[in-house]
A and B are shown apart, each in its own frame.
Chain A
């Protein structure tokens, strides 16, 4: 063994007499110089590395062979044949086996990965053009599910999980950081993202049960300093936004609603009302146009500078982003600055120091009224009353508007005030790495790393309510009446400040070495400590006059306080011992074991520590000699089987459940307005409001994290040099000890909240499939990647929700133990009543006011009557079980093209309040979609007269709305959309500045969507009862310049 080692280290003697000095340039197939490629004399240990121009010089036997290698490029061998100049073009290696993948506390070659780890490169991500890196990941990584709920600037309203398992842990440059920080990263700074989906996450212990997303930012490389600029301008459009009808249509719908009365209906809006709008006596308001802009701008500018020498490397970048909302006032907007500096230097032989610093500063501005309330309001108001009291449009009207709310005032910050949310992030880390192999060959492969990180986040928010006046025209006197808008008075200012910090120290020792060419041994052991602090306060004052500073406040009723939630005021510490060991034999048999011994201050003494182990193994059949010897299997480039199992933890939202005591002050949701419509958490003693303390739930000292047992089995295949790649995984996660309260079992007379205990269990399982295809036909090179993930959750045991009156009650309302989750109960369709004959002849009990066009519900239990007992599981919920995507990239000459098709299935949504029915009074809430309805051809005809002639439509006769939980109102959200399409052109190189590169591109986001969902985007959630700010479609023009 020792001999073997020595042999490896001693250069083989080569006779010098036939040597020639060979030099040349190594280029890749895009004619870029390859920096750092290894040039070896075959059969010897003589080798050199290409410099920053791709240039090399080596002494080699005149009849020798030079071998060229570089990660990501195909190895190439060239006979010297006495030449002194050999220029080489190395082709891109389609086999990604040697690609480096970032994993927990280290990296691994793709080929030796045994867990379910997927990665995407920064440059692939940005092919989807969006402000939020989460949206750029949509459809890129198998098992990573992303939903965009809204495109409201600065809210980053997304859901994000791995295999349906819940919010993953985010690690940015080796440090646990928040989703908010990830969302605000400048995508240009992202080098690589990898996702640990199975037990490979176990090294992150108690927080890793839902998977881990590892983000690595760009570092500098040795070579010429590169400057690059990326700029883009984006037009945003709402992706499907319902609109209001015109006054005639609105009045027609309201007349129909009034006619729709079996006891005799009448018109609520007479012919005169129609005439009044026609001749201009009454003025309408086109809210669609007054409130919503069809195009909203968005821009992004980034500059980065990177480069360095062999010893010192740097990457510095700056970014600016601006996005405006769709409200015409422009007062809904967001801007963000990013700054990043990653520097590394070798301060002594084998000792490297790295410093990474990042700063983010952003500001989200909104009108004082939230966007969903603005949308809610103008839909509700309808178009029958003018927005302005005077025809010139200078005085805001209140007359006739429901609750006297004028949406123009609400969306305009200058009139009604604003809210500002400012966040500042500072992230830093300093790392020292020592490579002991540099000192003595015996320690080759042994490195040690010490890292210290400090992160800080400050939130500085303002909410300014401004008093304003509205007007009404008095026809009797011909004058205008002025009136303060009640809810706006008095002016009020609220300031909030949050301060959060995190310190992390890490010391790890790594080992990585191959013995005898076949035994590869790797490992890491380390110690990590983390400390987190959070603090905050806020102040509220009514203002003497409308000046947006607290100084203008009146003394009466001022509030100064703080939030006491577990994410607002906290001090927490974590410690952990981590370890991993890898062994592989001849790259064929791969084994890995890892653990984390994790401690958290969130638990009671004696219950703070937990041990989380995992093992995984892989078998690269394609490396087996027997396999290689079979000729018919030559097409296989790679075939690997792998499996993993581990125990992970989740301390979820644990809230010191072991402690006994009180929270103070008790808070409520509407304290700011005096709790006038809800419980007020305190009492007035001695003329002063005294906040109360609330007792916590009964304590449970034994509470601990719940356990996630995660299993994954899969295979990776690639053949025909990339013409087909397949990767498949089956996964199953069993969680035990999930938190629940025995509320049902604790007698009410105890008068306390039952403690949370480790009671429940569930199972999340599913499959992932990835298919890839790469090819080059003539000058066109292209690639395709298809992904599909299906996942479902089943509760295994769930604590009693009961008591249950009977087994039906339990079946209907428990919906927990041994049940798949995400299933909706409701009525299925039996079609529509198409005519009076249909109504008369249809079986069963019918309400007496049924009309043609009405909905027929399936009599599921067959009792001849439609009632609650006919509700049965009939639809999924808004989290689709199945996600799929297809990505296509194409390169031809200087053109590049990328397209991402993406979709989901096995989900559904319900149209709520305003999308379900006309939700408003006096002409309000009449959205255009409700025009598509059954109605008598003659609007004055009695609908109950069987001789009345009907026109059919999507809805029943106005006023007859489908049951909300029926198939008529809950629809599948299955969709397929062109998520992103991008066409780029790179200008030919100029001789004078050969390093300069200029690319222009056009990109569209959410361009086309195929779905059965009407009126709104299929991803648009029924949150906020369907009034949430819409998703957007964007069109971007951009330019990338580097030199």
Chain B
């Protein structure tokens, strides 16, 4: 008995006494299982692509790459395209999360570079696992990622640390990499794009991956930036360049003897890359619904091109979303108030932006005409039967990008007006002075509104805080449209307009935060055409001949005309030439065509037209900067419909944004063309230089 029990006891413990202590962690994946097969590579590449510094529905200029889609709005960064009620509406002078972050969940360029370099160094171990074209393509992707990161950093900071290998820690003695010169940096961007173009397949192995033409298209954009910076730094008073304090490296700008040559080289590369995409014939402008001389069809065609993804020949690279795994909330924040869900009206296009387009009456100085006189303060208001009447001749492209007051969106008429005028007709301009100096005068300060008997009705806020106006026939109407504008509430059409681009036009779609899944087009053929055109004109201006035998100026002329034709805009009357006028034609076209795509803010930077001295060129065309700015700040205008009870007609007033939420001005100095390096990074490292001008 005793023995039995003791042996039973021993058995019980022995059964568990020999546990194996070498247990591989269950939740850790090795790099071999990722790099040695295609599905593993999908997972590896998914990480690289998830951190790509792409500006889409999850990027706000104010915040930078924190990959947050919260409050997302586009074009509100002091480019003049649009206004937004929140603090996120500010000039693009830096990003809260600098693209130099060490925070893993934010845009961390060095982490992404490490992952790309790791692939370049380790994929050769698994070369035997792949067909040669596949192997080359994956390597090409790594160079493409690196080029994308270097490019994103270069246009923010100038010269950057060029990390082109995996830094071993512990292991590598000297872990530091100083900033390279700006010229070396752009050369590296060029080299990495070229390597990617050489290695990658002409078609993406799967949608979402890159390919040769995608890399070529982005290369043309990057090189246009490099060429412009090299050239237009020279236009900034005192030349925009300098040496790092610690290293003596020319971390921003170009050497006095180098800029011209570098600029030509980069414009040449930009032209060559764009031209190769054009010549390939793979892409064309989207014209599925387009019909000549049919503004309605032309408008509908350009609405569809942002939502029709199936076989859209214009899309070169899109970032896709899918519900419910990976979504954004663009609709939720930017739909008209009519579809409140739960925030709204985040992108309100400005009158200044509208002024770029065809189809409006103008004063002699080219500004939008709303009165019978020769300036906004002169004459009487021109009366219209409906607000849409004012826009009836507007360029179809503008209508595709912007919701006009009274236009239809998602099956509903979008009700936008600023107020009701009960005084006698004809109506004199509401304000006496429309110049920049009186920009802060507001409608709700006018005696017509404040004193009795009042002739002007406005609403401070929507819904039950609308003022009610009794009409001559005894019926009532609210003092402002369903979508405002309201002078105390920014969640409305605070410029008198709302953006249409990117919004899901499907009436059946019920938006809420996190169920939007329309893709963002990061690169489309129209931009390649414009890149080619701009590079062509710049090369002609510099006296450089065509690098690939094509007739650069006729390529440029055709590019602009093709885009204008599709847009329903007036065609060029003469071929483009190597002149600044032609350059401005291309620039203005670019500003119009690529509005609300996160492109304009970069164009303004590379053209060096955002600071006061350069600001005449701010709009792509030449406009007198003092009309919308003083030496430090600048502002934008809205275009506000009013209803006149006596006539039963509508009139428009164009003035600086009068709503409390829209009372914003913007500032920009030459300093801002290069973002500052985060202070902590400079003080932490013995080799990282701050910008010499900061």
Residues of A within 8 A of B (CB): 347-348, 351, 399-400, 403-404, 430, 432, 434, 439, 448, 450-452, 484, 486-487, 489, 503-507, 527, 529-531, 542, 556-557, 559, 564-566, 568-575, 599-601, 605, 608, 656, 659-664, 666, 671-696, 698, 743-744, 746-754, 802-805
Contact = CB atoms under 8 A, between A and B. Distances in A.
B433 interface: no
B292 interface: no
Given A484-B510, A693-B43, A748-B685, A527 B17 contact: yes
B510 to A, nearest CB: 7
A573 B19 contact: yes
B512 A487 contact: yes
Interface string B509-521: 0111111110000
Nearest to A804: B683
A529 B42 contact: no
B574 interface: no
B50 A681 contact: yes
B17 A676 contact: no
A661 B28 contact: yes
B249 interface: no
12 contacts: A450-B13, A570-B27, A571-B23, A663-B28, A664-B29, A673-B514, A684-B208, A685-B206, A693-B43, A749-B161, A750-B169, A802-B683
Contacts of B324: 542, 557, 559, 672-674
A698 B29 contact: no
Interface stretch (B99-107, B294-302, B380-388): B99-107
A673 B104 CA distance: 21
B70 interface: yes
Contacts of A565: 27
Q: How large is the interface on B (under 10, 10 to 19, 20 to 34, 35 or more residues)?
A: 35 or more
Nearest to B519: A684
B21 A752 contact: no
Nearest to A609: B21
Contacts of B206: 685-686
A504 B169 contact: no
B549 to A, nearest CB: 37
B463 interface: yes
Contact of B329 (A507, A566, A671, A676): A676
Nearest to A405: B342
Given A505-B13, A743-B102, A749-B175, A675 B113 contact: no
Given A564-B27, A676-B514, A692-B46, A749 B177 contact: yes
Contacts of A678: 67-70, 105
A679 B46 contact: no
Nearest to B174: A747
Contacts of A572: 23
Interface string B567-605: 000000000000000000000000000000000000000
B26 A673 contact: no
A448 B9 contact: yes
Contact of B23 (A601, A660, A805): A601
A743 B464 CA distance: 54
A803 B683 contact: yes
A574 B16 CA distance: 11
Contact of A486 (B16, B163, B342): B342
B325 interface: yes
Contact of B2 (A348, A568, A656, A671): A348
Interface stretch (B315-323, B528-536, B630-638): B315-323
A752 B12 contact: no
Nearest to B320: A684
Nearest to B341: A486
Contacts of A689: 322, 325-326
B430 interface: no
B31 A661 contact: yes
Contact of A685 (B29, B114, B209, B684): B209
Which of B21, B45, B516 lies at the interface centre, i.e. has the most chain A CB atoms within 10 A of its CB?
A: B21
Contacts of A432: 5, 8-9, 12
A486 B110 contact: no
A404 B102 CA distance: 39
B512 A486 contact: yes
Given A450-B9, A693-B29, A573 B512 contact: no
A663 B31 CA distance: 10
B322 A694 contact: no
A805 B679 contact: yes
A489 B512 contact: yes
B49 interface: yes
Given A605-B22, A682-B47, A744-B684, 8 more contacts: A489-B510, A566-B27, A676-B327, A681-B50, A684-B319, A687-B322, A692-B46, A752-B111
A680 B54 CA distance: 13
Contact of B105 (A529, A656, A677, A679): A679
B326 A680 contact: yes
Contacts of B105: 678-679
B104 A753 contact: yes
A693 B5 contact: no
A768 to B, nearest CB: 38
A662 B31 contact: yes
Nearest to A562: B27
Contact of B22 (A530, A601, A696, A803): A601
Given A486-B512, A507-B17, A753-B104, A679 B26 contact: no
Contacts of B9: 432, 434, 448, 450, 507
Contact of A751 (B28, B106, B111): B111
A505 B12 contact: yes
B328 A676 contact: yes
Contacts of A600: 21
A446 B459 CA distance: 92
B353 to A, nearest CB: 28
Contacts of B208: 683-686
Given A450-B12, A542-B324, A434 B114 contact: no
A565 to B, nearest CB: 7
Nearest to A698: B169
B209 A676 contact: no
A673 B329 CA distance: 10
Interface in B65-115: 66-70, 100, 102, 104-106, 108-115
Nearest to A682: B46
B513 A676 contact: yes
Counting from the closest, the 4 A-B pairs by CB-CB distance are A674-B327, A505-B16, A751-B110, A751-B114
B508 interface: no
A503 B16 contact: yes
Nearest to A671: B325
A752 to B, nearest CB: 6
A686 B207 contact: yes
B176 interface: yes
Interface in B488-518: 510-517
Contact of B515 (A566, A674, A805): A674
Contact of A487 (B2, B67, B108, B513): B513
A623 B104 CA distance: 64
Nearest to B679: A805
A148 B22 CA distance: 40
Contacts of B104: 753
Contact of A691 (B46, B207, B319, B327): B46
Nearest to B101: A748
A347 B102 CA distance: 66
B20 interface: yes
B680 interface: yes
Contact of B176 (A348, A660, A664, A749): A749
Nearest to B116: A751
Nearest to B65: A679
Contacts of A564: 27
A171 to B, nearest CB: 18
Given A448-B9, A678-B67, A662 B34 contact: yes
Contact of B510 (A486, A503, A529, A744): A486
B44 interface: yes
B50 A679 contact: yes
B15 interface: yes
